[in-house]
Amino acid sequence: MAMALKEWLPPEAVDIVLVLFLSLLIGLEREERKAETAGQYAFGGVRTFPLIGLIGYSIAFVANGEVLPQVIGLVIVAAFLLMSYSHKVSVGGMAGITSEMAGVITYVVGALVFHQDLWLATTVSVAAMLLLQMKQALEGLTRRIAPDDIFTFTKFLLLTAVILPAVPNLPFTPFHINPFKSWLVVVAVSSVSYASYVLQRWAHGKGGVILTAALGGAYSSTVTTVVLAKRGARDEQPRLFAGAILMACGTMYLRLAALLAIVNVQLMALLAPALLVLGAGGVGAGLLWARGAGASGKGAAEQTVTANPLELSAALMFAVLFVVMQVATQLAATYLGKSGLYSLAAVMGATDVDPFIMGITQAVQASTALPVAGGAILIAAASNNVFKAGYAWYLARGRTGRQSFLLLLGLASAGLTPLLLL
């Protein structure tokens, strides 16, 4: 439509109309805000903001697009805005500077229209309108989000948006260590764990043992097993805690499926049916067991997560372990063969299996056959469940420990069944 109008109007006419329209929108919003603060000084309204937009457009037009005159014009407009703010402070004490900043944005919008950045000018105006209108919602959000959570999200951006693009995407050494892919694995594991960490913090104290098991399993099934086993030793609800532990360990398979989907699609396609069935079966059986015999699932559960998964030290440690496991996996596959790799997978189950399993996802691209790598992942997960069965039996003791031990051994056995298909 704008192009059609320009065929019979001066080219600048449509631009001026657009500047007036966008500036007027901002001015209308500020006029509405002035009405809410009747009797107090407030800067600008339905006339002032369109005038500022026209000034921005006119200076850009006269300067023929040169940058320096436009910057000088912005400085002059900003000086008037500063005078307005100084008067506002002298009259009413503490005062916000939102309207004055909106005036600066309006000047920039006028200049953008002259440069024919129409999409950018419209987007900036709409974004400014939304920010101005959402004052109460945004201020309420700041009260609900703790400062630590903001800092944590900043670290997430550091890991993903700052460090990851800067890491070289080339293989090094005879072991084909790719720094970019290694750090991508760190980001993937940290992201899945962080999502569970955030949900646990949000739901802490609200969902009881069942929700703790489901979310904790997505963070770390080993940590969750230890915590629930200790809690079960002090509580006379063996079926509830044994079922919750089984749920957490079943969630581990779903977590592995999500990670494989991010870092190695081939392995994900190979193992997806097994992982999804094992995950759904473990979670479902655990839920049924916990709900049986009158177990309500509403018992109090301690916080399962004690460390933020986005701590930089934890991320660096995981990266080191991942590289070590990648080298160890390739050496085992090259010199010890299939049986050696499977033996290494069984031993790794005693600890956190994430570095080993993620190392497998990269080793499969170098020297390990796809079915062998898939088998090693299943063995490592099953071995991890066996060790967790031992942890639960030792820490919970009594009926909770025995039930947990048998349920996790059953899940471990089921986890080895897909090896027959590989």
Tens of pLDDT, residue by residue over 328-374, are: 877 877 777 788 888 888 888 777 787 888 878 776 655 457 888 88
Query: Taking the mean position of all CA atoms in its chain, how far away is CA 334?
Result: 37
| Residue positions counted in the chain | 422
Task: Kindly state whether residues 163 and 235 are assigned to the same domain.
Answer: yes
Which residue's structure tokens are 């992201």?
A: 191
Q: Quick one: pLDDT at residue 203?
A: 61
- Which residue type occupies 268? M
CA dihedral over 9, 10, 14, 16, signed as positive or negative: negative
Question: Cα 20–26–32 angle (5° rounding)?
Answer: 125
Residues 87 and 208 in one domain: no
Calpha distance 79→99 (Å, rounded): 14
121 with 165, same domain: the answer is no
**The total number of structural domains that make up the chain:** 2
- Integer Rg of the chain from CA: 30
Mean pLDDT is lowest, of 212-216, 258-262, 285-289, for 212-216
Which pLDDT score, from 0 to 100, does residue 279 have? Answer: 94
User: How many helices and strands in the chain, by DSSP H and E?
Assistant: 18, 0
Average pLDDT over residues 83-90: 82
Tokens of 390: 């031992």
Q: Report the 3 state secondary structure along 251-313.
A: HHHHHHHHHHHHHCHHHHHHHHHHHHHHHHHHHHHHHHHHHHHHCCCCCCCCCCCCCCCCCHH
Q: DSSP label at 171?
A: -
DSSP 83: H
Secondary structure E strands in 112-194: none
pLDDT score at 365:
55
Quick one: 68 and 206 in the same domain?
no
Locate 60 and state its tokens: 């850009």
Q: What is the pLDDT, as a whole number, of residue 7?
A: 60
Among residues 93, 122, 141, the one where a domain terminates is 141
Shared domain check, 364 and 311: yes
* Shared domain check, 208 and 89: no
**pLDDT recorded at residue 210:** 79
**Range from 61-70, 223-232, 316-325 carrying the lowest mean pLDDT:** 316-325
CA angle 90, 94, 98 (to 5 degrees): 100
CA–CA gap between residue 371 and residue 418 (Å, rounded)? 11
pLDDT of residue 6: 53
Q: Is 421 exposed, middle or buried (0-12, 13-18, 19+ CB in 10 A)?
A: exposed
The token duo for 40 is 């107090």
Last residue of a domain, one of 115, 141, 167: 141
Same domain assignment for residues 112 and 247: no
pLDDT at 56: 92
Average pLDDT over residues 261-288: 90
Q: How far is CA 406 from the centre of its chain?
A: 36
What is the C-alpha to C-alpha distance for residues 421 and 278, in angstroms, rounded to an integer?
15
Tell me: do 33 and 124 sit in the same domain.
yes
Specify the amino acid at residue 155: K
Residue 253 has a pLDDT of: 93
Last residue of one domain, picked from the residues 113, 141, 169: 141
136 lies in the same domain as 162: no
pLDDT at residue 363 in the model: 67
pLDDT of 300 > 70? The answer is: no
Residue type, 386: V
Both 116 and 156 in one domain: the answer is no
**165 and 110 fall within a common domain:** no
Residue 404, sorted as left (phi over 0), alpha (psi -120 to 50) or beta, turns out to be: alpha
The C-alpha angle with vertex 331 and arms to 328 and 335, in degrees rounded to 5, equals 145
Residue 34 has pLDDT above 80, yes or no: no
Mean pLDDT on 400-407: 91
Distance CA 275, CA 81 (A): 62
DSSP, residue by residue, 14-26? HHHHHHHHHHHHH
Half-sphere exposure of 305 (CA within 13 A, CB side): 25
Strand partners, 369: none
What confidence tens digit (pLDDT) does each residue in 108-120 have? 999 999 998 999 9
CB 361 within 8 A of CB 374: no
Position 76: which residue type?
Answer: I
What is the structure's pLDDT at 351?
72
pLDDT at 396 over 60: yes
User: Does 34 share its domain with 101?
Assistant: yes
Judged by DSSP in three states, 215 sits in helix
pLDDT at 207: 55
Q: Give the structural domain span for 26.
A: 2-141
Query: Which has the closest alpha carbon to 253: 226, 284, 277, 286?
Result: 277
